[in-house]
Structure 1
Amino acid sequence: MGPTGSSSARPTAAFFDLDKTIIAKSSTFAFSREFQAGGLISRGAVLRSAYAQFVYMVGGADHDQMEKMRQMMSQLCTGWDVQTVTDIVADTLHNIVDPLVYDEAVSLIEEHHAAGRDVIIVSTSGAEMVEPIGAMLGADHVVATRMEVSPEGKYTGKIRFYAYAENKAKAVRDLARKRGYDLDGSYAYSDSVTDVTMLEAVGHPFAVNPDKELRKVAKEKGWPVLVFERPVALGSRVKLPPAKPTLAALAIAGAAGIGAAVWVNARKAKRAHSA
């Protein structure tokens, strides 16, 4: 089931989650090795702070636990030098981002543009990382997590905007008011149950490679389920611009990616054990 043209006099849009919806793996986890190699994350800190915390909290993802995770991520990157992060990402961005995007997702983006819709990426990852990815994909706008940077060019540890759960839905509604989008005629795509409120904000929600909880919600609500399974090199589908990112928000993305990968692995282990 693909997008169709809109008869509405108001413009419509298509909102895409990033990880596991457009990109076949976490867009941030791969950076953790580069951050560790660059001296930003010690192996001990990774094991003690990120891995232990996320494994401990893998049993559920309510808002209290997400607040604890947000605090942990803030503490992990506090004091990191922005230029160091920028240099690391500039050296590795193409190697990390280029390899795997879903061919089906790129086709959908192209179809939505052909139908006259704006395409917006809505991601919990850092804005300054998501924005160049969005540019590569031809997205019209990006909603993502934003961190505060001190006048000295270091991460303060404060998060200006955390693009997660209801915050994503609110950002979608705010953007719709600002740009005049008809949300009833708009589309949204995600793989995660944490994005249910974002999916509910539009008239055409789609579950993409959904986790168990989102699959259940999609079945209850009658939402279409899409299976994306053809990852291709991004450069084979779109022209990649030179990578010169200024990633003021990437620290939170790197920390989030570490936890996200452990979260996924622990959930798989838990499900296998339950089976």
Structure 2
Amino acid sequence: MGTPIGSPQGDATDFDASTDPDPRPRGAAFFDLDKTIIATSSATAFSRPFYAGGLITGGDVLRMAYAQFVYLVGRADADQTERLRAQLSSLAVGWDVAQVSQIVAETLHELIDPAVYAEAVVLIEEHHAAGRDVVIVSASGAEIVEPIAAVLGADRVIATRMTVEDGKYTGDIDFYAYGENKASAVRELAATAGYDLAASYAYSDSITDAPMLGAVGHAFAVNPDRALRRLALSKGWGVLTFSRPISLRSRLAPQPVITVGAVSVAVVVGVLVWRAVVKLRSRRSG
């Protein structure tokens, strides 16, 4: 089971690297992004500004909104997640990379800041205080993940990288940061940066990240899906609950209590989006 942050066994600051002629390799902290650091899907969070920028259609917005609703209520399985990734990849064909980067930069704080889990921010700070690099590992595109990681103060990023030709996306993928690929990238980065994986930490909500969690000495399932919860219990991994999305700009301000009424509104919105998708499909089939 993972050692809690701050305990003597997990502290990476109990030696002086400046005086030790052969300092021990330091650990790192690897964080999944969606539903681990942020309470949303980074891949679909920018659908509205992408629509405003002419990159996607109204129908695309509805489909992405419904996909995000299913994802957030924990109903999206691995196959649905893969279909969403494939849909986003096909949508991106011909997109101008500079335009995408500009849209993300201009709307990042509005869309992502309020969705960051306060518990994740605290963990990131504690790992930095213990001398560990923080690495964001996400299946979302690098153009989205890197700006988010910068806001969070992360040191490195492992993310999906799309093929670009003449400044535009081709729809192909150079590297897909998903499943076993995440674990392979973590091991490669550890070898390059000198991280001791046995002394490192990893956090994720999804069973698809089991290979990454298994690659480190201290694994934690965050708001885990059922399959990951079962695996975490069998492996002795830690299980954490993050429940306080909070704006980075007002982290110290009092936060409103989430009521049953607020949850009901979210469910109603999801149902309305689903109905809109059904109507759209009916019109196209007719």
With the length of structure 1 as denominator, give the TM-score of the two structures: 0.76
Q: 2:98 aligns with which of 71, 76, 83?
A: 83
Instruction: State which of 202, 224, 231 in structure 1 corresponds to 2:245.
Output: 231
| 1:5 has 2:6 as partner | no
State the distance in 1 between where 2:116 and 2:62 align.
Answer: 29
In the other structure, the counterpart of 2:36 is 21
Q: Does 1:61 align with 2:78?
A: yes
Aligned CA-pair RMSD: 2.8
Q: 2:215 maps to what in 1?
A: 201
Q: Which has the larger radius of gyration?
A: 2
- 1:158 maps to which of 150, 153, 172: 172
**AA in 1 matched with 2:30:** F
1:9 and 1:174 mapped to 2: Cα distance? 18
The 3-state SS of whatever aligns with 1:2 is: coil
Instruction: Report the Cα distance in structure 1 between the residues aligned to 2:83 and 2:173, rounded to whole angstroms.
Output: 13
**Corresponding residue SS for 1:181:** coil
| AA matched with 2:78 | A
Could you tell me which amino acid in structure 1 is paired with residue 134 of structure 2? Answer: V
Asked whether 1:184 is paired with 2:198, we answer: yes
Indicate the residue corresponding to 1:211 in structure 2. 225
Residue 128 of structure 1, CA deviation? 2.0
Q: Secondary structure at the match of 2:42?
A: coil
- Matched residue, 2:117: 102
CA gap of 1:59–1:233, structure 2 versus 1, over 3 A, is closer
1:97 & 1:68 partners in 2: Cα distance? 23
Q: 1:179 is matched by which residue type in structure 2?
A: A
2:78 is paired with a residue whose SS is: coil
Is 1:148–2:163 an aligned residue pair? yes
Alignment size in residue pairs: 235
Aligned-residue offset at 1:85: 2.1
| Counterpart Cα distance in 1 of 2:96 and 2:76 | 34
Deviations 1:173-231 (A, max 9, x none): 00011111111111000011110000000010000111111111111111110111122
- Equivalent position amino acid for 2:222 in 1: V
Tell me the secondary structure at the aligned position of residue 43 of structure 2.
Answer: coil
Contact 1:49–1:72 under 8 Å retained in 2: no
Give me the whole-angstrom Cα distance separating, in 1, the residues matched to 2:227 and 2:176: 22
**Greater CA drift, 198-207 or 132-141:** 132-141
Rate the CA distance shift 1:50–1:27 in 2: closer, same or farther, 3 A. Answer: closer
Taking CA–CA contacts closer than 8 Å with sequence separation of 6 or more, which of the two structures ends up with the larger relative contact order? 1
Cα offsets for 1:105-128 (capped at 9, x unmatched): 111111111111111110111112
Counterpart of 1:39 in structure 2: which amino acid? Answer: G
What is the one-letter code of the residue matched to 2:156? H
* Residues 60 and 115 of structure 1, relative CA distance in 2, 3 Å threshold: closer
Distance 1:104 1:129, change over 3 A: same
Cα distance in 2, alignment partners of residues 107 and 59 from structure 1: 28
Q: Structure 1: which amino acid aligns with 2:204? A: S
Greater mean deviation of Cα atoms: 197-206 or 129-138: 129-138
Contact 1:49 1:76 in 2 (8 A): no
Distance 1:223 1:49, change over 3 A: closer
Q: CA deviation at 1:66?
A: 6.6
Report which stretch shifted further, 122-131 or 43-52: 43-52
Structure 1 unpaired stretches of 5+: 239-261, 267-275
